[in-house]
Amino acid sequence: MQAGTTASKTLLQIQDLRIVYQQKNTFFTADQTVHAVNGVSFSIRQGESFAIVGRSGCGKTSIAMSALGFVKPSAGAISFMGENIWQLNRKDLRQLRPLIQPVFQDYGNSLNPRMTVNKIITEALRTQPNDRTQSDAVIQLLDSVGLDSGIRLRFPHQLSGGQKQRINIARALALNPKLLILDEPVSSQDLSAGVKLIELLNSLKQTYELSYLLISHNLSTVRLLSDRIAIMKDGVFIERGPAETLLQHPSDNYTKELIDASNLTNLSKTEQA
Amino acid sequence: MSLLTVENLSVINSSSGRSISILKNIGFSLNSGETLAVIGETGSGKSMLCKSIIGLLPPGFLCSGNIHYTSSDNTKTSIISAEKSDLLNIRGREIGMVFQEAAASLNPVVRCGNQITDVLSVESKIDKNKAKKQARKLLETVGLSEPERIFHAYPHQLSGGMAQRVALALALAGKPQLLIADEPSSSLDSITKKYYLNLLNRLKQENNLTLILVTHDVDEALSFADNILVLYAGCMTEYGRTGAIKKAPAHPYTKALLNIARALKEKDFPTPIPGEISSLTNPPSGCRFHPRCPKAQDICRLKEPPSIDISDNHSVRCFFPAETI
């Protein structure tokens, strides 16, 4: 669907990533070791959109959190623009961090309820050297995500779900990122608002030459937004390939099951009979 | 037999000092054993409709119109004018509800089994040991493969799908006739979602449940429900049998929603509905959908559209329903 990305350079490279969570004995639980990610490798080129698809709890978000520098891997390497992010010193990591920005699923809780839209975006802009005045930059960012400048005086509770998610995207763009990590960006959205967001993300990808790491369990979203897909189960990739090819000709039974489950047409007929 | 009849239901939020119309002139009836899907965008009033039916509107929300519920012993109750004690008898025992955020609707510091046991011992008036046995059985009924582990687990130890099924078990503990499920599958992955919907279907058959399913997934509504009610900015835009709406949606809004769902299925890029849903605090005059409607004409901006019966059990609120455009 999105061609012309194969010749570009590698932006993110993940090699044999392993993430193990140790849960200490608490009042509620006994000691537990959870192997969330078990040796995952992939790379994302500049301008490319790579999706990880799988059921809840398969380890998708752990990979994203690790790439963002929030969760330390137990083993393996995460390189961004050739630098192993987990071996960088604090100063270098601080310089690199703005280039990888997250857009979370829970769009409402990602925005400070006490800040206006203007302040939310200005906060991000303040960390960046900028030629424009901050108010010009805010208006331009709002415009780039399809929002009217009048919205900048509103608080998050005065916005619709679609508008909130656009503010999250505008805030991420304020830092001039190269890679956006989109964790279920449209799963909480209505049908129409979700489609509009997909349109926006596809156009921003072209305009800002962005790369996406998309985390999702919604195959419709994935098909419209990604160039390549990896299907994840129990911490490992079980199948991967170009989006259209994989969705049209899945080879693994689990992938077939995921695709089949997204089709609800036989639901009432089989069960109500 | 009509189990639930809603007539001219309007809800006004006056908690902030000004009156905001949340729901306007909603009317439908639901027969025993049927499933009604309520679809619409966020902010269209779907959850408020459910809360009105179960009598759980927050303070400051004023309800007018009629909601008639026929209990299992054939007693008719008007939910809006019912005494608190009557509502307590209806909630849980007659009408159960699975809330949108299942995990958040469970008590975080009480083990799941004990939450269900408490409901069973109150609703069925049985002793604790019997209630515990039944709670384990209920956990099995809702398809949880390790009922013993789940019984002793706290809500935070469950996955989203498991929490959703525990919330369903909790709602079923009172053996309701009518189950309201408010976006039960919106946060579930596709396999869990399909499993959950199949489970709802099976439980519906086994217990002769009547179901109100709130969703913004049009595909889910089309596959699952007998009737569909489409809400837009607190107004009912279309209501009818699923087959009729699927075949010939009459309202431009329903049509647009169905086109998006169809395009996603046929792997085309869908055309979204332009603009945003109208604000309830400052709604447009006339038809609330007119600012986004491709067919809007002057009359749509001036007057509220009347309800037009297209066929038996299929009505639309539009000046220019599909057939006449």
Residue B325 clears pLDDT 60, i.e. is over it? no
Q: Is pLDDT larger for residue A127 or for residue B106?
A: B106
Residues of B in contact with A262 (CB under 8 A): 190
Instruction: Please name the residues in contact with A171: beta carbons below 8 A apart, sequence gap of 6 or more.
Output: A120, A121, A123, A124
Residue ranges per structural domain of chain B: 2-94+176-324
Query: CA nearest B266 in A: which residue?
Result: A220
Q: Does A161 touch chain B (CB under 8 A)?
A: yes
Query: CA nearest A215 in B: which residue?
Result: B189
Give the per-residue pLDDT at A130. 66
Q: Does B75 touch chain A (CB under 8 A)?
A: no
Name which of B159, B191, B209, B237 to mutate to probe chain A: the one with the most chain A Cβ atoms within 10 A of its Cβ.
B191
| Measured distance CA(A241)–CA(A53) in Å, rounded | 12
Q: Does A219 touch chain B (CB under 8 A)?
A: yes
Structure confidence by residue, pLDDT tens digits, B118-167 = 999 988 888 899 999 999 999 998 888 889 999 999 998 888 788 888 99
> What is the 3 state secondary structure string of B208-272?
CCEEEEEECCHHHHHHHCCEEEEEECCEEEEEEEHHHHHHCCCCHHHHHHHHHHHHHHCCCCCCC
User: Å from B223 to nearest chain A CA?
Assistant: 5
Q: Indicate whether this model's pTM tops 0.80.
A: yes
* All structural domains of chain A: 10-263 (3.40.50.300)
C-alpha neighbours within 13 Å on the C-beta side of residue A153: 1
Res. A29 pLDDT band, cuts 50 70 90: low
Res. A60 pLDDT band, cuts 50 70 90: very high
User: Å from B84 to nearest chain A CA?
Assistant: 32
Q: Does A2 touch chain B (CB under 8 A)?
A: no
Q: Do A160 and B217 touch (CB under 8 A)?
A: no
Q: Do B191 and A196 touch (CB under 8 A)?
A: no
Interface TM-score (ipTM) > 0.85: no
| Measured distance CA(B263)–CA(B174) in Å, rounded | 41
From chain A residues 81-120, the ones with a CB under 8 A of any chain B CB are none
- The CATH superfamily of B2-94+176-324 is P-loop containing nucleotide triphosphate hydrolases (3.40.50.300)
Residues of A in contact with B264 (CB under 8 A): 220
| Measured distance CA(A51)–CA(A211) in Å, rounded | 11
